Structure 1
Amino acid sequence: MAQGTIAARRTGLERVDLRLIAALAAVWILWGSTFAAMHLAVSAIPPFAMASIRFTIAGLVLLAVAAARRKLRVTRADLVRAVVTGATLLLFGNGMTAWTVQFLPTGLNSLLLSLAPVWMALIAFAWGGERPSRPAIAGMLLGFAGLALLLQSKSGGAFALWPAIVALLASISWAFGSIYQRRAAPAASLTVATSLQMIAGGILLGLEAALTGEWRHVGAASFTPESLAGLAWLIVCGSLVAYSAYLYTMQAANAALASTYAYVNPLVAVILGMVLFRERFTPAEAIASAIILAGVALMMVPGRRFSRSASHRCDPASASP
């Protein structure tokens, strides 16, 4: 009996690890691809309106999935969590990032947003005493150094001060929302929690688009084949798959490991740029990519020691979106 229980526990832990690996891979690769998709989508659809459409549709799809699985149970805590995370992650994090893209060079914007893992580690330490290990700290520093080298050639030149400040605040807001997501009481269903968050974020982004007058510029001409293709990719791969996987990693992994997407996504974006847009990949970028991967490897070291604590924070059986 005891051996059977131990075997079952081991099987469960292995299942958790495999799910976490799949979730991390989705966040790393699919979120990296959203840079190209967003470029296509905003070519004809204003950024706040586009983000509102994206998250509202994705949230409604997830809500329908939850209803079909008969898990559509919404509590007051779920609504509060949805509003807070919808505002911090999607309105201020994603929405304001979409706004800054209009004024800042892509490299500089990405570099400012890549500070999110640093803020996450600091907030996690200040909020709950989650102290990163020395390899994780070294990995963060190494990954940031590689990212700075990767984007150095694209971040030069003059830039508007206020959009840069907004981008920095967006990264802090994203970090706070991510840590809040982990610290808040666990939801009965991650599918419901994710759908409510997206719907709340979509509504807030829609209000933002209304305040800035973007909806007046949205019409039939906005939905070109390119913008529709980009929007569809963002909804399916960026929101339904990758974003749901990100929320899972924030519950099942420590802050350092969950934040490694900020180092891998630019690398994926560079590779896609080479394949899709024939962008040049310089030797300096190759060196930077190697440094980024080395930093990610170091940050994954503490992931081997979180299984017990993670099992108390998230029930894998009910967490799959």
Structure 2
Amino acid sequence: MRPAHLLLAVLVAAVWGVNFTVIEVGLDHFPPLLFSALRFLAAALPAVFLVGRPTVAWKWIVGVGLSLGVAKFGLVFVGMGAGMPAGLTSLVLQIQAVFTALIAFAVLGERPTRVRVLGMAVAFSGIVVAAVDEGTSGPLGAFALVVAGAACWGVANVLTRKAAPPDALNFMVWVSTVPVLPLLGLSLLTEGPARDLDALRSLDLAGVVTVLFVAWVSTVLGFGAWGWLLRRHPASTVAPFTLLVPVFGMSTAALFLGEPVSGLRWCAAALLVGGVALTSLSPGRRGAGTTGTTGTGTAIPEDDVVQHTAAAGPPTRTTLTR
């Protein structure tokens, strides 16, 4: 990989890590579900008018939109709103790679190798350590919501693999159109129209910037750069950079939000990142029920499906053309 491409990969990982701190700031301005809805609205418009018609069947767009946009992001934003720290969220979400492997085994027949099974066990031990650490300082209910969000992310990843979108940016933009109305409806039901209206009426520059950052910088620009890298390098070369996301996430949260990083949390980080690396980056093998897919995909970072979508093209290829 050329130095400029290497720098771009690190920059994207940094953007996705910083994104969690930006989300934390945004939650001071919006109720969680309303914030998530606005994020997808800004990601979809006006891009949906520029990317052309969908390149996959609507069932995949709707399926990923509901599992990723409504379930995953709804749970994560609510969990963060309930007290889950931004840095810890960036770390715990990496367990989605293990959920992806388990769901792929159940649905696609992708049998994990012994190395992957070991990686899953190590990653889950990291979750246990993180839960013990959070139990001494924060609400375990919020922690559980983020873990549930990671499981929903695994569902979205498998659906994305089945969809095999030929144009990942087109796919992500159209997926972003699906969660807007469901999230708005859930926000009105659970957060209340009065709270939503108050947030919109008091909208200031900081609130606008947080929405635009998570929608355009993290999702559209970050996704576009990641897809550009994957078109020029094998996924196995690009994917390891996603493991930098929780490093940037925890560091920026500690620097800008003052979140403490305990010894237990560093231990959890080492176990989770190491386990995810073993789970995601080791070679897979086909099971009897697999139809042309190998492995469970690449290590998938941060806050967006964009990362996995970019790496999820036609499953028998090592370099992806978008």
TM-score by length of 1: 0.70
Task: Tell me the matched-pair count.
Answer: 289
Separation of aligned partners in 1, 2:130 and 2:212: 29
1:176 aligns with 2:155: yes
Within a 5 Å distance, the mapping from 1:14-29 to structure 2 comes to 28-29=13-14
Distance 1:297 1:197, change over 3 A: closer
Distance 1:111 1:104, change over 3 A: farther
Tell me the residue number matched to 1:126. 106
Larger Rg: 1
TM-score by length of 2: 0.70
Contact kept, 8 Å, 2:101 with 2:279, in 1: the verdict is no
Contact kept, 8 Å, 1:135 with 1:301, in 2: the verdict is no
Match of 2:184 among 206, 209, 221: 206
Separation of aligned partners in 2, 1:139 and 1:191: 30
Distance 1:26 1:92, change over 3 A: farther
Worse-superposed segment, 145-154 or 198-207: 145-154
Tell me the residue number matched to 1:9. none
Distance 1:235 1:227, change over 3 A: same
The CA deviation at 1:88 is 0.5
Tell me the residue number matched to 1:195. 173
Match of 1:85 among 58, 64, 69: 64
Distance 1:160 1:281, change over 3 A: closer
Distance 1:30 1:135, change over 3 A: farther
Tell me the residue number matched to 1:97. 76
Higher helix share: 1
Tell me the residue number matched to 2:309. none
Tell me the residue number matched to 1:274. 254
The CA deviation at 1:279 is 4.3
Tell me the residue number matched to 1:69. none
For the residue of structure 1 that corresponds to 2:110, the secondary structure is coil
- Aligned residue type for 1:82: I
Distance 1:113 1:288, change over 3 A: closer
Contact kept, 8 Å, 2:42 with 2:212, in 1: the verdict is no
Distance 1:27 1:134, change over 3 A: farther
Match of 1:31 among 8, 11, 16: 16
Identity percentage over the alignment? 20
Tell me the residue number matched to 1:49. 34
- Aligned residue type for 1:277: L
Separation of aligned partners in 2, 1:246 and 1:271: 22
Tell me the residue number matched to 1:117. 97
Match of 2:200 among 200, 205, 219: 219
Tell me the residue number matched to 2:290. none
- Aligned residue type for 1:79: W
Tell me the residue number matched to 1:7. none
Separation of aligned partners in 1, 2:178 and 2:84: 30
Match of 1:228 among 186, 199, 208: 208
The CA deviation at 1:294 is 3.8
Tell me the residue number matched to 1:316. 320
Instruction: Give the gaps of 5 or more residues in structure 2.
Output: 287-292, 295-311
